[in-house]
Amino acid sequence: MDDTAAFFEAYAAVLRRWPVQVRSVDVPTPYGSTRVHIGGREDGVPLVLLPGGGTTSAAWFANVGALAPAHRIHAVDLMGDIGRSVHDGAPLRGAADLTAWLDALFDELNLDGAHLCGHSYGAWIALNYALHAPHRLGRLALLDPVNCFTGMSPRYLAHALPMLLKPTAGRVRAFHRWETGRDPEDPVWQAFLESTATARRSKVVAMRRPKARALATCTVPTSVLLAEHSRAHDPRRAAASARRLLPGASVVTLPDASHHSLPTERPAELNRLLTEFLAV
């Protein structure tokens, strides 16, 4: 088995852990085909899930069981990042291309009125989409969003750099252990993370923080859920900035959570907060 095949087998192994049945579709867009895993309540409000960079749609295995009873879940592999989406169309040059990509996805899947939830880089994309097309969204949930309300930690970026420049399973493992303080509790998820060292990506867009005046125009009801021990940024500063820049948003810091462990490990409190917010 070559390295790429090993990555896709690890991806499939995590999907097999999902507690709900899903249908996988490839959705055409001007940027390429987008892999979306669809499941949950057929007549539920659509819920679009955007993962953190380098984790794929499979990352929601610990959350979909709680979200599926009320929502029609659409878990997306990000365009330009690793996973089953294929970036063989228009180039990705910035946030405007990512919002245009999501516009095409919403058109193809008839997702107007959907709730949108993103983690990390996926949260940055989700916030930019809410600023671009608020009329298409119901609610917005941002899980430890990066470069949205405050800058990223230089120390975090320095630790990530060796893994990004020359990824190996050992460097991926060491980086996640440094950020979270431990190895993942789920061995299938740990094997997947290590396999991402061999995965191919085309373009992860450089993240520019939205302007304060743009954030002031956001009309989508928003929940910001931060990780107390996040090393990606200063969570206290991020919380204060989110409250100042989005006065109507709910901002909660989850204790004992790190940036990379937030969606996947000990998710009971996160799932409770998400289901309560999305049910209103």
Structural domain contains residue 149: yes
Structural domain contains residue 40: yes
Structural domain contains residue 177: no
Going across the sheet that includes 222-227, the strands are 22-29, 32-40, 71-76, 45-50, 114-119, 137-143, 222-227, 250-254
User: Could you report the per-residue pLDDT of 182-191, keeping only the tens digit for each?
Assistant: 999 999 999 9
Structural domain contains residue 110: yes
Which domain does 50 fall in, by range? Answer: 15-154+211-279
Residue 4 is predicted with a pLDDT of: 84
Interstrand relation of 22-29 and 32-40 (parallel, antiparallel or unpaired): antiparallel
Radius of gyration of the chain from its Cα atoms, rounded to whole angstroms: 17
Structural domain contains residue 137: yes
- Number of domains comprising the chain: 1
User: Could you report the per-residue pLDDT of 237-272, keeping only the tens digit for each?
Assistant: 999 999 999 989 999 999 999 999 999 988 999 999
Interstrand relation of 114-119 and 45-50 (parallel, antiparallel or unpaired): parallel
User: Could you report the per-residue pLDDT of 160-190, keeping only the tens digit for each?
Assistant: 998 888 889 999 999 999 999 999 999 999 9
Interstrand relation of 71-76 and 32-40 (parallel, antiparallel or unpaired): antiparallel
Residue 232 is predicted with a pLDDT of: 97
Structural domain contains residue 226: yes
Q: Which residue has the tokens 């990352």?
A: 59
Calpha distance 98→95 (Å, rounded): 5
Residue 257 is predicted with a pLDDT of: 95
Structural domain contains residue 202: no
Can you say whether the dihedral through the CA atoms of 263, 267, 268, 270 is positive or negative? negative
Structural domain contains residue 173: no
- Ranges of beta strands (E only) in the chain are 22-29, 32-40, 45-50, 71-76, 114-119, 137-143, 222-227, 250-254
Residue 1 is predicted with a pLDDT of: 43
Of 106, 77, 257, 103, nearest to 182 (Cα)? 257
Q: Which residue has the tokens 């058109």?
A: 107
Calpha distance 130→113 (Å, rounded): 12
Is 240 within 8 Å of 249 (Cβ atoms)?
no
Of 91, 81, 46, 59, nearest to 189 (Cα)? 59
Residues with pLDDT less than 50, the chain:
1-2
**CATH number of the domain residue 77 falls in:** 3.40.50.1820
Residue 93 is predicted with a pLDDT of: 93
